[in-house]
Structure 1
Amino acid sequence: MNKKIIVITGASGTGKTTISKYLQNTYHIPSVITHTTRLPRAGEKDGVDYYFETKESFLKNHYLEKVEYSGNWYGSSEESLNKTWKEYDSASIVVDTKGAVSYKKKYGEKAVVIFLEVDLDTVTRRLTKRGDEISRLKARINSEEFHRDLQMPMELEGKCYKIINNNIEITKENVNKILKKEKIN
């Protein structure tokens, strides 16, 4: 069977995790669990939301992509993707735009990239609602990575789907169309 990885990318607060959960709940497409050195947010569980790592344990994994963001490391390991592909034909993963470029380069047609975009005011409002500390929120919004992730990378032009996520219902309809076109369900 043809394996697929649905790569969901865009800046923080654009709805990447919401779409990943939608794929899981509606289509039973699991999310590849990624690794981070950041502390869990309220309600997050190790091995479910992320593999929460120390800086030392983080460095022992084999990563397809990894990035330092707001003082913490994030990464997706080949082992985690292969483990998911053993049980499922399709999986999703939430990564930054740099990670999305890496997946597209490595997996080509197997990587279906969805770039989510919203305006800066909406992103700021969503991140504030999410409960991030104000100082951390300001640092994130002013970071080079955040601004990079607001724009679709040139390497993905014509090779990915772009959805402006101002209305979650319309976004879900667009995701449904992508899955149909890519023959994923």
Structure 2
Amino acid sequence: MDKKIIVITGASGTGKTTISKYLQDTYHIPSVITHTTRLPRDGEKDGKDYYFETKDSFLKNHYLEKVEYSGNWYGSSEESLNRTWDKYNAASIVVDTKGAVSYKEKYKEAAVVIFLEVDLDTVTKRLSKRGDDKKRLKARISSDEFLRDLQIPRELETKSYKIINKSLQTTLESVDEILKNENIK
């Protein structure tokens, strides 16, 4: 079987992490571990939750996408994906739409992109249920990145699967169908 990377993308609150967890729990498809320069939170382990890096060590990897957020760097590297592919035929990763385009350009057919879409009203309700502070929530949903991630990028329109995530059960059935289409077990 060819190696596959399932790239899950969409705006915050569309269900990306839920789908990643479903792939892990149901199909034993692990998430690619990403890198960060932020300090570990209580209970987080290096090599499990993230690869915790210094600013210097962070720069030594080859990133498919990286972003600076609140003074810390986050990114997904070719090295981490290759480590996962050494043990598994398929892996998943949650990235923003810009990152999804990078994965598709680099890995072509090996990158199975799933774009999750939800209407703005539903996303806003989901994010406020998470307990996000109202002021931060408002800033987040009006940010350029959030608005960009609400739409499937032009570069991915004909090269990805789009799921409108209104019902979790229907969404999971769609994910099952995609895995069958892509011959991922």
Decide: shared fold, TM above 0.5.
yes
**Using a 3 Å threshold, how does the CA distance of structure 1 residues 132 and 169 change in structure 2: closer, same or farther?**
same
Report the alpha carbon displacement of residue 101 of structure 1 after superposing the two structures with TM: 0.4
**Using a 3 Å threshold, how does the CA distance of structure 1 residues 147 and 92 change in structure 2: closer, same or farther?**
same
1:21 equivalent in structure 2: 21
2:4 equivalent in structure 1: 4
Report the alpha carbon displacement of residue 115 of structure 1 after superposing the two structures with TM: 0.2
Matches for 1:1-150 after TM superposition, within 5 Å: 1-37=1-37, 45-53=45-53, 55-69=55-69, 72-150=72-150
Question: 1:70–1:139: 8 Å Cα contact kept in structure 2?
Answer: no
Report the alpha carbon displacement of residue 123 of structure 1 after superposing the two structures with TM: 1.2
**Using a 3 Å threshold, how does the CA distance of structure 1 residues 144 and 31 change in structure 2: closer, same or farther?**
same
Amino acid at match of 1:91: A
Amino acid at match of 2:13: G
* Helix, strand or coil at the partner of 2:101: helix
Question: 1:70–1:140: 8 Å Cα contact kept in structure 2?
Answer: no
Q: Give RMSD over aligned pairs.
A: 2.1
**Using a 3 Å threshold, how does the CA distance of structure 1 residues 139 and 73 change in structure 2: closer, same or farther?**
farther
Amino acid at match of 1:51: Y
> In the aligned structure 1, how far is the partner of 2:154 from the partner of 2:170?
25
1:152 equivalent in structure 2: 152
- Please, which runs of 5 or more residues in structure 1 have no aligned partner? none
* Helix, strand or coil at the partner of 1:91: strand
Per-residue CA deviation, residues 41-84 of structure 1 (Å, 9 max, x unaligned), is: 78655433333445554334321111235665331011110000
User: Sequence identity of aligned pairs in percent?
Assistant: 80
Amino acid at match of 1:83: R
State the aligned residue count: 185
> In the aligned structure 2, how far is the partner of 1:124 from the partner of 1:61?
35
**Structure 1 runs of 4+ off > 6 angstroms?**
39-43
> In the aligned structure 1, how far is the partner of 2:40 from the partner of 2:122?
24
> In the aligned structure 1, how far is the partner of 2:100 from the partner of 2:110?
12
- Please, which runs of 5 or more residues in structure 2 have no aligned partner? none
- TM-score, normalised via structure 1 length: 0.90
